[in-house]
Chains A and B, each alone.
Chain A
Amino acid sequence: MAIDVATVRKVARLSRIAEPEEVLPALAEQLNGIMQWIEQLAEVDTDGVEPLTSVVNQGLPLREDVVTEGGDASRVLANAPKSVGGFFVVPKVVE
């Protein structure tokens, strides 16, 4: 499955990474190179094999319904590029 310029443009948008038009062809080629190398996975017979999503052999731990965190907005905002009155301030969202 070849990655063309249109695909890179779409994937870059999905990833929210600005890639100028001029670099798209070279980027597509590079990504294609990687994907072609990955293609060899198709050689593996995985019929009837369950995907392995976790290498941990224990149950999902559960926490008690107790408030243990929060209560300090300043800590949450400490590294914010912009904050006002306890809110994060971000570029306008157009709906």
Chain B
Amino acid sequence: MSNLTDLTLKAALDGLTSKQFTSVELTQAHLTAMESARALNAYIAETPEKALQMAAASDVRRASGDAGPLDGAPLGIKDLFCTEGVGTTAGSKMLANFKPTYESTVTSQLWRDGAVMLGKLNLDEFAMGSSNESSASGPVINPWRAIGSDRKLTPGGSSGGSAAAVAAGLCLGATATDTGGSIRQPAAFTGTVGIKPTYGRCSRWGIVAFASSLDQAGPITRTVEDAALMLGSMAGHDPKDSTSLDLPVPDFSAFVGRSVKGLRIGVPKEYRVDGMPAEIEALWTQGIAWLKAAGCEVVEISLPNTKYALPAYYIVAPAEASSNLARYDGMRFGLRAAGSNLTETYENTRAQGFGDEVKRRILIGTYVLSHGYYDAYYIKALKVRRCISDDFDSAWTQCDAILTPTAPSAAFALGENASDPVAMYLNDVFTVTVNLAGLPGLSLPAGLSSEGLPLGLQLIGKPLDEGTLFSLASVMEKAADVSQRPQSWWRASS
């Protein structure tokens, strides 16, 4: 039943509750869709046996009245989350054969709530990238294509596989992570909803670390309501993560559909960048109009240090990554290359195990932390980080949420930014400020480009105020009414 994969997460759960179908049926439908969508390369690993086992167990629970909030829902898991007994590669040769003996906290909570695992989703290697082109498992192809073109486009990154899978109906929802925009930008490129919650809302325990002070897990889904549902299961205090917020998880779903009348929406003038495509500007204006129509007050605000966010990010993130990735050394797990002594083994293992982008960032990170440069680069970047955070603190005295475009363009072609790392970095210009300040940020599909490609708008909220984002996003979702799905060109003709 292919229409089972067209359901939203919420509708699927309702269908399971009203016994229109079983989780096994629902899961099988997705497994079948995955089989015929391999051209997209969204999944690094499919776990059909496990999925059907979990689905069967769910059906038993449901029959005895024991269903959890996500019971029976088949989900995809970004291959950055360690899943016990199931290979976890982080998109890297370094971990090609790594099988964790432990389960990440976020995914344990999904299984606790009854969800079903379809497989591990493709990503940029070690979550470093904006196009999913750096994965050792090959690039992910965006299910969306420009009108009249069969050019392969990127789904964005690093959570490219997650976004593509949700957009193509290969799972009801997917876990993802966001360090500089890796949930929001792929969501925008694929016409899906993605939210990076407040830093500390979701536990980082068991998620392969990239940049500790920036990484956050979050869901990618088809609708705002689905995102609220999934985040509710993913979030929560974890004593095993010292940066995890010791606060109760709000009922995010309750915020969906709430009135936003009287909320003040900030529009930061610095986000109007040179060379911004007219249609993105137009979409932004459209978004403002929707919110005004819903009773919001729109305020122009200033976030003066916006343009320095990207360079600051490209110091802080690589610095932390250079240290977090030191454990990938061939000694206790993962790839071990040949070497005639210890140093050679280290150097060959890491040269062979890591791709070019990861190596670049490790080298930059090591450089900016090294003796003589630490103050000029790393400390300077942390000071700029505080300035950026302070900018938002002032902004919150004038508004309750901020509206910006998510990305400076629609999905671009594979290989387009291959030669210039900096050009690739510029993809995150609208999103990195949010990670630096630790704020919640949500991207929702707001329209299509002239080429028929999805465009997203981003809502940025006060710390801990995911609720307001869900309320605003659900209003905009209704107004935008982006019901189009990508044409499923990828189904193997047989």
Docked complex: A22-63 residues within 8 A CB-CB of B:
27, 30-31, 33-35, 37-44, 46, 49-58, 60-61, 63
Q: What is the bound-complex CA distance between A17 and B331, given in angstroms?
A: 15
The answer to whether B351 and A46 have CB atoms under 8 Å apart is no
Q: Which A residues form the contact surface with B (CB < 8 A)?
A: 1, 3, 7-8, 11-19, 27, 30-31, 33-35, 37-44, 46, 49-58, 60-61, 63, 75-76, 78-82, 88, 90-94
Q: A27: shortest Cβ distance to chain B, in Å?
A: 8
The answer to whether B332 and A35 have CB atoms under 8 Å apart is no
Partner of A37 from the list B305, B329, B370, B422 (CB cut-off 8 Å) is B422
The answer to whether A58 and B245 have CB atoms under 8 Å apart is yes
Partner of A52 from the list B331, B363, B367, B385 (CB cut-off 8 Å) is B385
Chain B binding site: helix, strand, loop or mixed by DSSP?
Answer: helix
Cβ–Cβ < 8 Å partners of B343 in chain A: 16
Cβ–Cβ < 8 Å partners of B381 in chain A: 41
> Which of the candidate stretches B28-36, B57-65, B371-379, B401-409 sits at the interface with the other chain?
B371-379
Partner of B308 from the list A14, A44, A54, A88 (CB cut-off 8 Å) is A44
The answer to whether A44 and B384 have CB atoms under 8 Å apart is yes
With A44-B305, A56-B199, A58-B246 as contacts: A50 and B383 at CB distance below 8 Å: yes
Partner of A56 from the list B243, B347, B354, B373 (CB cut-off 8 Å) is B243
Partner of A91 from the list B326, B333, B339, B387 (CB cut-off 8 Å) is B339
9 closest A-B pairs (Cβ-Cβ)? A55-B438, A51-B382, A79-B333, A18-B347, A52-B386, A46-B383, A81-B336, A16-B346, A18-B351
Cβ–Cβ < 8 Å partners of A56 in chain B: 199-200, 243, 245, 438
> Which of the candidate stretches B67-75, B283-291, B309-317, B442-450 sits at the interface with the other chain?
B309-317
Q: What is the bound-complex CA distance between A61 and B381, given in angstroms?
A: 27
Most buried by A among B329, B359, B383, B420: B383
Q: What is the bound-complex CA distance between A5 and B383, given in angstroms?
A: 30
Q: What is the bound-complex CA distance between A23 and B381, given in angstroms?
A: 29
The answer to whether B384 and A41 have CB atoms under 8 Å apart is yes
The answer to whether A34 and B383 have CB atoms under 8 Å apart is no
Cβ–Cβ < 8 Å partners of A38 in chain B: 311, 314-315, 377
Cβ–Cβ < 8 Å partners of B312 in chain A: 41
With A16-B329, A16-B350, A55-B438 as contacts: A44 and B387 at CB distance below 8 Å: yes
